[in-house]
Amino acid sequence: MAIPNMQIPSRQLFIDGEWREPVKKNRLPVINPATEEIIGYIPAATAEDVDIAVKAARRAHGRNGWGSTTGAQRAKFLRAIAAKVLEKRPELATLETIDNGKPWFEAASDIDDVVACFEYYADLAEALDSKNKTEVKLHLDSFKTHVYKEPLGVVGLITPWNYPLLMTTWKVAPALAAGCAAVLKPSELASITSLELGEICREVGLPPGALNILTGLGHEAGSPLVSHPDVDKIAFTGSGPTGIKIMTAAAQLVKPVTLELGGKSPIVVFDDIPNIDIAVEWTLFGCFWTNGQICSATSRLIIQDTIASQFLDRLLEWTKNIKISDPLEEDCKLGPVISRGQYEKVLKLISTAKNEGATILYGGERPQHLKKGYYIQPTIITDVDTSMEIWKEEVFGPVLCVKTFKTEEEAIELANDTKYGLGAAILSKDLDRCERFTKAFQSGIVWINCSQPCFWQPPWGGKKRSGFGRELGEWSLENYLNIKQVTQYVSDEPWAFYKSPSKL
């Protein structure tokens, strides 16, 4: 596959089906994390643009608008979007790579997931037509009750930078499938492919205002979207602190939110694993895929002491074998982290670990051969104490910390020793033991003899400080539907609660 070279297309805000200059004409630089160079600019929306976009969405959703289409009609647009994304796969993958820093082949497989997700929600939109009015059986026959599932209305979608177009799609596809009109605010650190989705929607003739895309800063564009009185719901993926800000602001309007936040997920490895190399590779993938910037990363390795030194030796050999390079290189397996801010944050967490007494078994620095770009070596930290910051805090970078255990009880206690509750992995040949851990893990996702594989059909989300709500599958469609109960009096008899006045 030839990797195309691309310039960043020059785009405006995507509002009401067309490209619009932001009211204040502000723009933000786009930086390629592999070169630290400015490669383009994106428009920076402010509250004025949010108001224009929300009004456009409300009009689109209104009478005889997107909100009154059938699922079958909406499915046609979702399939047309999927087809266009597929057509532009190589270009979108390159744009994703130069904006986000993930290896090109990872970006390309993210694009495949985007296509599958739009097609999946087209099917669910179609299926909705036969499910959006169902009778509820009552204990009496003088009433008939039905439940209607109807679009919630205008929804605000706020997304992170680690899977730019995929996280956008996880929200846009079900929202449109449900018949909602959406205002999307992608991360200012990686907005390019989300703007390209706007161009694709324009090309397929998506009704104006069904999807509006506002790029810009969180506090300048995201915050006014959360607080806008005519936005019915917010779906957010990102950091814990920002999730708290969003939930606080939404609470003033009793506005529902779904929060997909961070994690510090465990991977528990027993000494009965049948093949150490398979277990080592899953451990690597669980923490170093996507340059380690995964909300569900299994960034805490909890390894049985009987196998620990052998496992760590092998883990080191595999880690040294990871190719760190410009993410546009064909077989790159680790690119730069997203930004200078993230680069410094990750290095700071590593140096704090050292100061608190942990051992940097491998990595911890910029790779020698890469003088430019926000590159950090895959890092393995041992001699970790549960009181240390590196054990407690989400790094969102290629950093794995390690603790050993003797008994199952100790392993479960260490695994659940986190304020988060997103994912958890268990590697063991003993499937009864895996079942015990599945039940004991305080998480929304469990991986057995693997880590990270994620498909669009099952529910995705966590508990505790990882947030609430579920994305993907049927669960995500429910996020964008209003459940309306309709009860009809079908008897000809008077209700006879009050005494009838004497006959005239």
Ligand X SMILES: NC(=O)C1=CN([C@@H]2O[C@H](COP(=O)(O)OP(=O)(O)OC[C@H]3O[C@@H](n4cnc5c(N)ncnc54)[C@H](O)[C@@H]3O)[C@@H](O)[C@H]2O)C=CC1
Ligand Y SMILES: C[N+](C)(C)CCCC(=O)O
* Residues noted as catalytic: 260
Contact flags string 151-170 toward ligand X, x per CB under 6 A = -------xxxxx--------
- Which of residues 212 and 452 has its CB atom nearest to ligand Y in the complex? 452
Q: Is 94 in the site for ligand X (CB under 6 A)?
A: no
Spatial strand order in the sheet of 13-15: 18-20, 13-15, 211-213, 181-185, 154-158, 233-237, 257-260, 467-468
Backbone phi and psi for residue 446, each to the nearest 5 degrees, phi listed first:
-125, 130
Q: Which does 464 bind (CB under 5 to 8 A by kind): Na ion, ligand X, ligand Y, none?
A: none
What is the smallest separation between the CB atom of 338 and ligand Y, expressed in angstroms?
A: 12
Among the residues of 402-448, which ranges form H helices?
A: 408-415, 431-440
Distance CA 15, CA 379 (A): 43
Work out whether 237 is an interface residue with ligand Y (CB under 6 A): yes
- Please pick, from the candidates 96, 99, 393, 394, the single residue that binds Na ion as defined by CB under 5 A: 99
Question: Is residue 132 involved in binding ligand Y (CB under 6 A)?
Answer: no
Count the residues of the shown chain that bind ligand Y, applying the rule CB under 6 A: 10
Binding track over 261-300 against ligand Y, x by CB under 6 A: ---------------------------------xxx----
74: alpha, beta or left? (left if phi > 0; alpha if psi -120 to 50): alpha
- Of 55 and 345, nearer to ligand X (C-beta) is 345
Site string for ligand X, 325-354 (x = CB under 6 A): -----------------x--x---------
CB of 398 to ligand X, least distance (A): 13
| Interface positions, 295-324, toward ligand X (CB under 6 A) | 295
Query: Nearest distance from residue 29's CB to ligand X, in Å?
Result: 15
Closest to ligand Y by CB, 229 vs 453, is: 453
**Nearest approach, Cβ of 197 to ligand X (angstroms)?**
15
Minimum distance of ligand X from residue 134's CB (angstroms): 35
Q: Which of 261, 324, 380, 481 binds ligand X (CB under 6 A)?
A: 261
For ligand Y, the closer of residues 114 and 307 by Cβ is 114
99 binds, among Na ion, ligand Y, ligand X, none (CB under 5 to 8 A by kind): Na ion
Q: Which is nearer to ligand Y, 247 or 316 (CB)?
A: 247
Which positions from 18 to 47 touch Na ion by CB under 5 A, shown as an x/- string?
-------------x----------------
Work out the end-to-end distance of the chain between its first and last CA atoms, rounded to an integer number of angstroms: 89
Cβ(218)–Cβ(47) below 8 Å: no
13 touches which of ligand Y, Na ion, ligand X, none (CB within 5 to 8 A by kind)?
none
Phi and psi at residue 486, to the nearest 5°? -125, 115
Nearest residue (CB) to Na ion, 216 versus 364: 216
- Angle in degrees, CA 463, 464, 466, rounded to 5: 65
Query: Among 94, 168, 212, 237, which residue sits at the site for ligand X (rule: CB under 6 A)?
Result: 237
Distance from C-alpha of 173 to C-alpha of 474, rounded to nearest angstrom:
12
| Structural contact between residues 319 and 363, judged by C-beta atoms closer than 8 angstroms | yes
Q: What is the DSSP string of 439-478?
A: HH--SS--EESSS----SSS-B--SGGGEE--BSHHHHHH
Asked whether position 219 contacts ligand X by CB under 6 A, the answer is yes
CA-to-CA distance for 301 and 313, rounded, in angstroms?
14
Site mask for ligand Y (CB under 6 A), range 450-479, x = bound: --x-x-------------------------
Of 27, 167, 193, nearest to 97 (Cα)?
A: 193
* 398 near ligand X, rule: CB under 6 A: no
Tokens 């929804």 -> residue: 155
Q: State the Cα–Cα distance between residues 230 and 121, nearest whole angstrom.
A: 25
Contact 245, 225 (CB under 8 A): no
One DSSP character per residue, 329-355 reads STT--B---S-HHHHHHHHHHHHHHHH
Binding residues for Na ion, how many (CB under 5 A)? Answer: 2
Restricted to residues 150-189, the positions that interact with ligand Y (CB under 6 A) are: 160, 162-163, 167
- Give least dist CB 26 to Na ion, A: 17
Degrees to nearest 5, angle at CA 250 with 248 and 256: 120
- Cα angle value 363/367/369 (rounded, 5°): 150
CA–CA distance, 58 with 54 (Å, rounded to integer): 6
Q: How far is the C-alpha of 439 from the C-alpha of 424, rounded, in Å?
A: 11
Which of 26, 35, 109, 239 binds ligand X (CB under 6 A)? It is 239
Q: Scanning residues 26 to 65, which ones bind ligand X (CB under 6 A)?
A: none
Residues 102/327, Cβ–Cβ less than 8 Å: yes
Q: What residue ranges bind ligand Y (CB under 6 A)?
A: 160, 162-163, 167, 237, 294-296, 452, 454
Q: What residue ranges bind ligand X (CB under 6 A)?
A: 158-162, 185-189, 218-219, 222-223, 226, 237-239, 242, 245-246, 261-262, 295, 342, 345, 394, 396
Q: What residue ranges bind Na ion (CB under 5 A)?
A: 31, 99
